[in-house]
Amino acid sequence: AQSVTQPDIHITVSEGASLELRCNYSYGATPYLFWYVQSPGQGLQLLLKYFSGDTLVQGIKGFEAEFKRSQSSFNLRKPSVHWSDAAEYFCAVGRAGNQFYFGTGTSLTVIP
């Protein structure tokens, strides 16, 4: 069965500190991978995506993610967090048949 795991339910970082949000997936073939961000009461916004090619992908708002096939991971990183980055972050896997699987999300708190 396919699944997406985000092991950290909640993370707190200081403004200006680096950030890494973890995501592991279980899928038999090379998946399409995504990170989304959700501000309170809002829809989800796409941060970045991986389909193929370079395993380090750049996204919006200074985020990047690295696909590691050997670890079945697609961790999200940002070198310096801003207070406006406080939100819920979701990792997702897309596969053939228009099926998407989302992780349960990681809530990020940024302290000044």
**Which positions lie near another protein, rule CB under 8 A?**
31-32, 34, 36, 41-46, 49, 51, 90, 92, 94-100, 102-105
Q: Which is nearer to another protein, 55 or 80 (CB)?
A: 55
The structure tokens listed for 91 are 């990792």
The residue type of 5 is T
Minimal distance, residue 18 CB to another protein, in Å: 25
Q: Which is nearer to another protein, 28 or 97 (CB)?
A: 97
Minimal distance, residue 41 CB to another protein, in Å: 7
Q: Other CB atoms closer than 10 Å to residue 86's CB: what's the count? A: 17
The structure tokens listed for 28 are 């038999």
The Cα diameter of the chain in Å comes to 44
Minimal distance, residue 6 CB to another protein, in Å: 8
Element (H, E) at 56: strand 56-58
